[in-house]
A = this chain, B = another copy of it.
């Protein structure tokens, strides 16, 4: 399949289940909401070495947030067992401490809930308060008051949705990946947890040479190793590959997010080839067929 002169590989992305908590952070301006969200979702690119995966989901305009202030939704994704602890620590250390923030449940319809009791920080001076129909706690702090819900919906979502952006030059592939990240951020329900939303060093499970490594470079997709490794997957004319990894609250969100990203990437001059990573079903139960999602969620 060819789109705008870019070859779309006839393959699929393989993904697996994860538990997700989605939180809406509001603040006095969009900029301050983003600062809190960025700190709270840092050091959270990959479950391999970080405490969780996390990222910015999408902006929520002031007219759609519980307190009528500009907001941004974030997602925190990990095992069910670790999820509550990560949400507690990241909200307590990175959002409660951040100027002018308030937090609200971003999955109010979820069947399961976790309790995140930040109000103990108030040392008895805290009190309950309704904001925009949400039951919140108000905690006296040095800047004035912090307002937040303490019950957050969690869902079993999808981690590891992905695609590869391959370009004739590194900068073409990078800008293709950047355009994809911008487009995915405009979709509600999905995050791209890596730095700036992009993976420069996609990995394979384990290592051939160093047995103590949980993951190592995916040599078949390394442009500088073409001709040096068997079965290189680097097409002719390709000199760089970036991976986009997408987590989302359900299969449909991930499919839509992937499609938005691919449609954006293929508009960038020098992007030559789009593919995706899969492992023959050993990684997880979700399959996102590139050709199918591109047709289902057509942009132009």
Contact = CB atoms under 8 A, between A and B. Distances in A.
A179 interface: yes
Give the interface size bracket for A toward B.
35 or more
A186 B299 contact: no
Contacts of A202: 141-142
B175 A175 contact: yes
Contact of A125 (B225, B269, B270): B225
Contact of A217 (B123, B168, B207, B216): B123
Interface in A147-194: 164, 167-179, 182-183, 186, 194
Counting every copy of the chain, the complex holds 4
A124 B219 CA distance: 10
A35 B40 CA distance: 15
Interface stretch (A9-17, A48-56, A278-286, A287-295): A48-56
Interface string A235-251: 00001111100000000
A195 B62 contact: no
A97 interface: yes
A167 B270 CA distance: 11
Contact of A179 (B44, B70, B120): B70
Specify which of A90, A141, A208, A239 lies most central, judged by the most chain B CB atoms within 10 Å of its CB. Answer: A141
A32 interface: yes
A45 interface: yes
A120 B211 CA distance: 10
Given A48-B93, A63-B299, A171-B270, 13 more contacts: A28-B267, A28-B269, A29-B179, A38-B195, A39-B42, A43-B89, A61-B186, A101-B200, A120-B207, A141-B222, A143-B170, A146-B201, A171-B171
